[in-house]
Amino acid sequence: MLNLCSSEKYKNVQHYLDWLATFGETADGGVTRLLYTEEWQAAQHALKEEMREIGMDPYFDKVGNLYGRIEGFQEEKQVILTGSHIDTVVNGGKYDGAYGVIASLLAAKMLFEQYGRPRKTIEVVSLCEEEGSRFPLTYWGSKNITGEYSLEDIKQLEDQNGILFQDAMGKAGFPIAAYKGDKRSDIEHFIEVHIEQGAILEKNNIDIGFVTHIVGQHRYTIQFMGESNHAGTTPMEERKDPMVFAANCIDALTKIAKEEYPGLRATVGSINAEPNVSNVVAKTVSITLDIRHHQEGILKKYSDEILQMITEKANDSGIICKAEKWADSLPVALDTSLHSTMEKIAKNNGLKSVQMVSGAGHDSQILGAHYPTTLFFVPSQKGISHSPLEFTKVQDLEHGILLLKEVLYKLAYEGVQ
Pick 252 or 389: Cβ nearer ligand HGY = 389
Tell me if 254 sits within 8 A of 309, measured CB to CB. no
Q: Contact with Mn ion (CB under 5 A): which of 50, 96, 196, 406?
A: 96
Q: What is the 3-state secondary structure (H, E, C) of 138-196?
A: CCCCHHHHCCCCCHHHHCCCECCCCCEHHHHHHHCCCCHHHCCCCCCCCEEEEEEEEEC
Pick 96 or 123: Cβ nearer Mn ion = 96
Q: How far apart are CA 377 and CA 386, in angstroms?
A: 16
Question: Of 25-33, 89-97, 111-119, 368-376, which part binds Mn ion (CB under 5 A)?
Answer: 89-97
Q: Contact with ligand HGY (CB under 6 A): which of 87, 123, 130, 196?
A: 130
131 part of the interface to ligand HGY, by CB under 6 A: yes
360 part of the interface to ligand HGY, by CB under 6 A: yes
Tell me if 139 sits within 8 A of 368, measured CB to CB. no
35 part of the interface to ligand HGY, by CB under 6 A: no
Residue 340: CB minimum distance to Mn ion, A = 26
Residue 361 binds: one of ligand HGY, Mn ion, none (C-beta under 5 to 8 A by kind): ligand HGY
Peptide bond into 275 cis (omega under 30): yes
97 part of the interface to Mn ion, by CB under 5 A: yes
Tell me if 80 sits within 8 A of 184, measured CB to CB. no
Residue 408: CB minimum distance to ligand HGY, A = 24
Residue 367: CB minimum distance to ligand HGY, A = 14
Pick 37 or 365: Cβ nearer ligand HGY = 365
Residue 180: CB minimum distance to ligand HGY, A = 25
Q: How many CB atoms lie within 10 A of CB 339?
A: 18
Picking from 12, 122, 101, 107, the residue whose alpha carbon sits closest to that of residue 56 is 122
Question: Helix, strand, or coil here: 48?
Answer: helix
Residues 6+ apart with CB under 8 A from 18: 94
Tell me if 366 sits within 8 A of 148, measured CB to CB. yes
Question: Of 62-70, 72-80, 88-96, 160-168, which part binds Mn ion (CB under 5 A)?
Answer: 88-96
Residues in 343-382 at the binding interface with Mn ion, rule: CB under 5 A: none
> To the nearest 10°, the Cα dihedral for 378, 394, 96, 4?
-50
Residue 351: CB minimum distance to ligand HGY, A = 24
| Partners of 280 in the β-ladder | 230
Which CA distances in Å does 343 have to 2, 72, 84, 194, 209?
15, 26, 22, 17, 10
By CB under 6 A, the count of residues binding ligand HGY is: 4
Residue 64: CB minimum distance to Mn ion, A = 17
Residue 209 binds: one of Mn ion, ligand HGY, none (C-beta under 5 to 8 A by kind): none
361 part of the interface to ligand HGY, by CB under 6 A: yes
Residue 104: CB minimum distance to ligand HGY, A = 18
Binding site for ligand HGY (CB under 6 A): 130-131, 360-361
Binding site for Mn ion (CB under 5 A): 96-97
